[in-house]
Amino acid sequence: MNQWPLPRVLAHRCGGTLAPENTLIGLEFAVAHRCFGVEFDVMLSGSGTPILIHDETLDRTTTGFGRVCDTPDAALLGLDAGAWHSGRFAGERVPLFADAIRRCRALGIAANVEIKPAEGFELATGRVAAAVAAAGWAGADRLPLLSSFSVTALAAAAEAAPHLPRAILFDALAPDWLEQVRALGAVGVVCNANRLDAATAAAVKQHGFGLAVYTENDPLRARQLFDFGVDSVITDRPDLVTAAS
Protein backbone atom coordinates (compact mmCIF):
# COMPACT_ATOMS: atom_id res chain seq x y z
CA MET A 1 0.00 0.00 0.00
CA ASN A 2 1.37 3.42 -0.82
CA GLN A 3 1.92 5.83 2.05
CA TRP A 4 -1.13 5.12 4.24
CA PRO A 5 0.00 6.95 7.36
CA LEU A 6 -2.70 6.04 9.87
CA PRO A 7 -3.19 3.42 12.61
CA ARG A 8 -6.17 1.10 12.66
CA VAL A 9 -8.38 3.10 15.01
CA LEU A 10 -8.98 6.86 14.86
CA ALA A 11 -11.03 8.74 17.42
CA HIS A 12 -13.61 10.85 15.58
CA ARG A 13 -13.36 14.64 16.11
CA CYS A 14 -10.41 14.16 18.53
CA GLY A 15 -11.92 12.09 21.35
CA GLY A 16 -15.13 10.69 19.89
CA THR A 17 -18.08 11.23 22.21
CA LEU A 18 -15.91 10.82 25.32
CA ALA A 19 -14.99 14.53 25.26
CA PRO A 20 -16.22 17.66 23.47
CA GLU A 21 -15.58 17.31 19.74
CA ASN A 22 -12.65 19.04 18.07
CA THR A 23 -10.94 20.09 21.31
CA LEU A 24 -7.47 19.57 22.71
CA ILE A 25 -8.88 17.72 25.73
CA GLY A 26 -10.35 15.24 23.23
CA LEU A 27 -6.82 14.35 22.14
CA GLU A 28 -5.93 13.55 25.75
CA PHE A 29 -9.01 11.33 26.05
CA ALA A 30 -8.04 9.39 22.93
CA VAL A 31 -4.61 8.64 24.35
CA ALA A 32 -6.09 7.78 27.75
CA HIS A 33 -7.93 4.96 25.94
CA ARG A 34 -4.76 3.87 24.16
CA CYS A 35 -6.00 5.27 20.86
CA PHE A 36 -3.06 6.90 19.09
CA GLY A 37 -4.90 8.12 15.99
CA VAL A 38 -7.52 10.84 15.61
CA GLU A 39 -9.64 12.54 12.97
CA PHE A 40 -10.62 16.19 13.32
CA ASP A 41 -12.20 18.95 11.21
CA VAL A 42 -10.39 22.11 10.09
CA MET A 43 -12.18 25.27 8.90
CA LEU A 44 -11.10 28.90 8.44
CA SER A 45 -12.15 31.53 10.96
CA GLY A 46 -13.27 34.99 9.85
CA SER A 47 -9.62 36.03 10.19
CA GLY A 48 -8.57 33.28 7.76
CA THR A 49 -6.98 31.19 10.55
CA PRO A 50 -7.44 27.41 10.44
CA ILE A 51 -9.21 26.18 13.58
CA LEU A 52 -10.84 22.94 14.71
CA ILE A 53 -14.63 22.96 14.33
CA HIS A 54 -17.20 20.85 12.52
CA ASP A 55 -20.22 23.05 11.81
CA GLU A 56 -20.25 26.18 9.66
CA THR A 57 -21.94 27.93 12.59
CA LEU A 58 -20.79 28.30 16.18
CA ASP A 59 -24.15 27.62 17.79
CA ARG A 60 -24.11 23.86 18.49
CA THR A 61 -20.64 23.40 19.97
CA THR A 62 -19.70 26.78 21.45
CA THR A 63 -21.16 29.58 23.53
CA GLY A 64 -21.09 31.78 20.42
CA PHE A 65 -23.48 32.05 17.51
CA GLY A 66 -23.37 32.87 13.84
CA ARG A 67 -21.09 31.79 11.03
CA VAL A 68 -17.51 30.70 11.73
CA CYS A 69 -16.31 32.41 8.54
CA ASP A 70 -17.76 35.73 9.77
CA THR A 71 -16.20 35.55 13.24
CA PRO A 72 -12.70 36.96 13.78
CA ASP A 73 -10.19 35.18 16.00
CA ALA A 74 -10.48 37.77 18.76
CA ALA A 75 -14.12 36.76 19.30
CA LEU A 76 -13.89 33.10 18.37
CA LEU A 77 -10.93 31.97 20.43
CA GLY A 78 -12.47 33.17 23.71
CA LEU A 79 -15.61 31.05 23.33
CA ASP A 80 -16.34 28.02 25.48
CA ALA A 81 -16.26 24.86 23.34
CA GLY A 82 -16.63 22.34 26.15
CA ALA A 83 -19.64 23.26 28.28
CA TRP A 84 -22.16 22.00 25.70
CA HIS A 85 -20.80 18.47 26.23
CA SER A 86 -20.86 18.51 30.04
CA GLY A 87 -19.98 20.78 32.91
CA ARG A 88 -16.64 19.11 33.55
CA PHE A 89 -15.36 20.41 30.20
CA ALA A 90 -16.42 24.04 30.72
CA GLY A 91 -13.62 26.41 29.77
CA GLU A 92 -12.28 24.30 26.91
CA ARG A 93 -11.51 26.54 23.91
CA VAL A 94 -11.81 26.28 20.14
CA PRO A 95 -8.29 25.17 19.19
CA LEU A 96 -6.05 26.68 16.58
CA PHE A 97 -5.07 24.00 14.06
CA ALA A 98 -1.41 24.84 14.76
CA ASP A 99 -1.92 24.12 18.48
CA ALA A 100 -3.69 20.84 17.73
CA ILE A 101 -0.73 19.76 15.59
CA ARG A 102 1.70 20.57 18.43
CA ARG A 103 -0.42 18.56 20.88
CA CYS A 104 -0.69 15.60 18.49
CA ARG A 105 3.05 15.54 18.07
CA ALA A 106 3.67 15.84 21.81
CA LEU A 107 1.27 12.96 22.50
CA GLY A 108 2.52 10.78 19.64
CA ILE A 109 -0.85 10.83 17.87
CA ALA A 110 -1.29 10.25 14.12
CA ALA A 111 -3.83 12.59 12.54
CA ASN A 112 -6.41 12.52 9.78
CA VAL A 113 -7.05 16.19 9.07
CA GLU A 114 -10.45 16.62 7.48
CA ILE A 115 -10.40 19.88 5.52
CA LYS A 116 -13.93 21.19 6.07
CA PRO A 117 -14.39 24.37 4.03
CA ALA A 118 -17.37 26.61 4.53
CA GLU A 119 -19.24 26.97 1.27
CA GLY A 120 -17.32 29.29 -1.04
CA PHE A 121 -14.02 28.90 0.87
CA GLU A 122 -12.87 25.62 -0.69
CA LEU A 123 -9.68 26.87 -2.35
CA ALA A 124 -8.53 29.02 0.55
CA THR A 125 -9.25 26.37 3.17
CA GLY A 126 -7.39 23.66 1.23
CA ARG A 127 -4.42 25.92 0.61
CA VAL A 128 -4.10 27.31 4.16
CA ALA A 129 -4.79 24.03 5.96
CA ALA A 130 -2.14 22.25 3.88
CA ALA A 131 0.43 25.00 4.43
CA VAL A 132 -0.11 24.97 8.21
CA ALA A 133 -0.01 21.16 8.23
CA ALA A 134 3.26 21.13 6.27
CA ALA A 135 4.88 23.59 8.67
CA GLY A 136 3.48 21.93 11.80
CA TRP A 137 4.55 18.42 10.84
CA ALA A 138 7.90 19.46 9.34
CA GLY A 139 10.52 16.85 10.21
CA ALA A 140 7.93 14.45 11.68
CA ASP A 141 8.39 10.69 11.33
CA ARG A 142 4.75 10.22 10.40
CA LEU A 143 2.87 12.69 8.21
CA PRO A 144 -0.84 13.47 8.62
CA LEU A 145 -3.45 12.34 6.12
CA LEU A 146 -5.40 15.23 4.61
CA SER A 147 -8.94 14.35 3.56
CA SER A 148 -11.99 16.24 2.33
CA PHE A 149 -15.36 15.84 0.67
CA SER A 150 -14.26 18.80 -1.47
CA VAL A 151 -11.99 17.83 -4.36
CA THR A 152 -11.44 21.54 -4.93
CA ALA A 153 -10.00 21.86 -1.41
CA LEU A 154 -7.88 18.73 -1.91
CA ALA A 155 -6.50 20.00 -5.21
CA ALA A 156 -5.51 23.26 -3.50
CA ALA A 157 -3.91 21.26 -0.68
CA ALA A 158 -1.96 19.20 -3.23
CA GLU A 159 -0.60 22.35 -4.80
CA ALA A 160 0.35 23.90 -1.44
CA ALA A 161 1.88 20.75 0.08
CA PRO A 162 2.36 18.05 -2.56
CA HIS A 163 4.27 15.79 -0.16
CA LEU A 164 1.36 15.42 2.29
CA PRO A 165 -0.77 12.32 1.65
CA ARG A 166 -4.37 12.93 0.65
CA ALA A 167 -7.59 10.90 0.63
CA ILE A 168 -11.00 11.65 -0.85
CA LEU A 169 -14.02 11.48 1.44
CA PHE A 170 -17.21 9.89 0.17
CA ASP A 171 -20.53 8.79 1.56
CA ALA A 172 -20.85 5.71 -0.65
CA LEU A 173 -17.84 5.35 -2.91
CA ALA A 174 -18.53 7.13 -6.22
CA PRO A 175 -18.54 4.94 -9.37
CA ASP A 176 -15.57 6.96 -10.68
CA TRP A 177 -13.64 6.87 -7.37
CA LEU A 178 -10.53 5.44 -9.03
CA GLU A 179 -10.34 8.21 -11.63
CA GLN A 180 -10.83 10.82 -8.90
CA VAL A 181 -8.12 9.30 -6.70
CA ARG A 182 -5.65 9.11 -9.57
CA ALA A 183 -6.41 12.65 -10.73
CA LEU A 184 -5.68 13.99 -7.24
CA GLY A 185 -2.65 11.80 -6.61
CA ALA A 186 -4.44 10.56 -3.49
CA VAL A 187 -3.29 7.57 -1.43
CA GLY A 188 -6.75 6.32 -0.62
CA VAL A 189 -10.39 6.93 0.19
CA VAL A 190 -12.52 7.38 3.30
CA CYS A 191 -16.16 6.34 3.12
CA ASN A 192 -19.25 5.82 5.24
CA ALA A 193 -18.99 2.52 7.14
CA ASN A 194 -22.68 1.85 6.52
CA ARG A 195 -22.21 2.14 2.77
CA LEU A 196 -19.26 -0.23 2.39
CA ASP A 197 -19.51 -3.88 1.39
CA ALA A 198 -16.83 -6.53 1.08
CA ALA A 199 -16.62 -6.31 -2.72
CA THR A 200 -16.13 -2.55 -2.73
CA ALA A 201 -13.47 -2.78 -0.03
CA ALA A 202 -11.70 -5.51 -1.99
CA ALA A 203 -11.71 -3.36 -5.14
CA VAL A 204 -10.03 -0.48 -3.30
CA LYS A 205 -7.39 -2.80 -1.86
CA GLN A 206 -6.79 -4.57 -5.19
CA HIS A 207 -5.88 -1.23 -6.69
CA GLY A 208 -3.39 -0.69 -3.87
CA PHE A 209 -5.13 2.20 -2.14
CA GLY A 210 -5.72 2.89 1.53
CA LEU A 211 -9.24 2.64 2.92
CA ALA A 212 -10.77 4.20 6.03
CA VAL A 213 -14.38 4.29 7.17
CA TYR A 214 -16.45 6.59 9.38
CA THR A 215 -18.11 6.42 11.91
CA GLU A 216 -18.26 2.92 13.40
CA ASN A 217 -18.94 2.46 17.09
CA ASP A 218 -19.81 -1.25 17.21
CA PRO A 219 -16.70 -3.37 17.88
CA LEU A 220 -18.17 -6.41 16.08
CA ARG A 221 -18.89 -4.47 12.91
CA ALA A 222 -15.45 -2.85 13.19
CA ARG A 223 -13.94 -6.33 13.29
CA GLN A 224 -15.87 -7.21 10.13
CA LEU A 225 -14.68 -4.04 8.41
CA PHE A 226 -11.07 -4.86 9.24
CA ASP A 227 -11.68 -8.33 7.79
CA PHE A 228 -12.91 -6.65 4.57
CA GLY A 229 -9.45 -5.05 4.36
CA VAL A 230 -10.27 -1.65 5.86
CA ASP A 231 -7.07 -0.01 7.10
CA SER A 232 -8.52 2.47 9.59
CA VAL A 233 -11.84 2.81 11.41
CA ILE A 234 -12.94 6.24 12.62
CA THR A 235 -15.04 5.90 15.75
CA ASP A 236 -16.88 7.89 18.39
CA ARG A 237 -16.06 5.11 20.87
CA PRO A 238 -12.31 4.56 20.81
CA ASP A 239 -12.72 2.98 24.25
CA LEU A 240 -14.70 0.14 22.64
CA VAL A 241 -13.26 -0.15 19.14
CA THR A 242 -9.55 -0.24 20.03
CA ALA A 243 -10.22 -3.67 21.53
CA ALA A 244 -11.50 -4.92 18.12
CA SER A 245 -8.45 -3.79 16.22
Q: Is residue 41 involved in binding ligand G3P (CB under 6 A)?
A: yes
**DSSP three-state, residue 214:** strand
114 lines the binding site for Mg ion (CB under 5 A): yes
Of 204 and 212, the one with the shorter C-beta distance to Mg ion is 212
HEC letters along 144-210: CEEEECCHHHHHHHHHHCCCCCEEEECCCCCCCHHHHHHHHCCCEEEEEHHHCCHHHHHHHHHCCCE
Whole-angstrom Cα distance, residue 174 to residue 197? Answer: 13
Would you say 54 or 223 has its CB closer to ligand G3P? 54
Q: CB-wise, 103 or 116, nearer to ligand G3P?
A: 116
d(CA 38, CA 14): 5
Closest approach of Mg ion to the CB of residue 6, in Å: 14
Q: CB nearest Mg ion: which residue? A: 114
Beta partners for 232?
212
12 to 51, contacts with Mg ion by CB under 5 A? Answer: 41
CB of 96 to Mg ion, least distance (A): 18
Peptide bond into 61 cis (omega under 30): no
Binding site for Mg ion (CB under 5 A): 41, 114
Binding site for ligand G3P (CB under 6 A): 12, 39, 41, 54, 114, 147, 169, 190, 214, 234
Catalytic residues, by residue number, are 12, 54
